[in-house]
Amino acid sequence: MWMFEDRREAGKKLAMALSGYAGRNDVVVLALPRGGVPVAFEVACSLRAPLDLLLVRKLGVPRHRELAMGAIASGGVRVMNDEIVNTLSISREAIDEVARAETVELERRERAYRGDRDRVDIADQTVIVIDDGIATGATMLAAVSALKKLKPARVVVAVPTAAADSCIKLRRTADEVISLANPEPYIAVGRWYRLFPQTSDVEVKDLLDKAAERHQPTP
């Protein structure tokens, strides 16, 4: 029942659906690590666009960490679920404590993946956000909400496969949602790939390095 051989093949197919964005100087590709990076690498290469990461960390409610009261993302962005914060009367001090801990981990991962390279500037750009698939959509929703605070011109969510109801939710937030397939029942992202190994930190860094080298301006 699989639809894609692996993430790299899925990225090449997704790139064809995004061909209208090729060669533009106002397009940036952002990957959700780790599984989104091999997909996004193929898209960025095909579109001749810069590739960067969008790291997102959930802010869990104190003593109920599985319940998200918000999220932080690359670029120092914080988004909060005001309904949960107000309903549970979560103090600003408690929010800040959780955010500090998650920021430490986010920054550690940024350094491990990006090294000394600066983040790509996305203000006034068309940003294409890519993952290897979307099941519940919670991480992608947090990512799009965070991106909006960085003032891009347009946010496009693009994935090889997604649950149909998650796409409906995302269309309320993103400017455009592209999914090559929306099988039902969805069950899990990995079901739609023949090969679906865990993407390592080393692979993420290697692909980011290669993308940066390929996108260097010609002297």
The radius of gyration of the chain from alpha carbons, rounded to an integer in Å, stands at 17
Q: From the CB of residue 108, how many other CB atoms can be counted at a distance below 10 Å?
A: 10
Q: Quick check: is 219 in a domain? A: no
| CATH (domain of 129) | 3.40.50.2020
**Tens digit of each residue's pLDDT (9 = 90 or more) over 4-25:** 999 999 999 999 999 999 999 9
pTM for the model stands at 0.90
Domain count, the chain: 2
Same-domain pairing of 134 and 190: yes
Phi-psi map region of 167: left, alpha, beta (phi>0 left; psi -120 to 50 alpha):
alpha
Q: How many CB atoms lie under 10 A from the CB of residue 195?
A: 12
Instruction: Write the CATH number for 84.
Output: 3.30.1310
Q: Do 107 and 201 reside in the same domain of the chain? A: no
- Say if 1 falls within a structural domain: no
Residues 91 and 135 in one domain: no
H and E: helices and strands count for the chain = 7, 8
CA dihedral of 6, 163, 46, 17, whole degrees rounded to 10: 120
Q: What contacts 11, CB < 8 A, 6 or more positions away?
A: 38, 39, 40, 41, 42, 43, 130, 160
User: Domain boundary residue among 114, 143, 160?
Assistant: 114
Residues 99 and 47 in one domain: no
**Pair 108, 131 in one domain:** no
Question: Is 209 a domain residue?
Answer: yes
Residue 2 lies in a domain: no
Residues 199 and 128 occupy one common structural domain: yes
Low-confidence ranges of the chain (pLDDT < 50): 218-219
- How far does Cα 187 stand from its chain's mean position? 20
Q: 50 and 142 in one domain? A: yes
Domain hosting 99: range is 57-114
Measure the CA–CA gap between 203 and 2, rounded to whole angstroms.
Answer: 23
- Residues 100, 196 within the same domain: no
Residue 96 counted as domain residue:
yes
- The answer to whether the beta carbons of residues 205 and 211 sit under 8 Å apart is no
Task: Note the pLDDT of residue 217.
Answer: 58
| Residue showing tokens 């890519």 | 130
Identify whether residues 69 and 12 lie together within a single domain: no
Q: Do 65 and 85 lie in a common domain?
A: yes
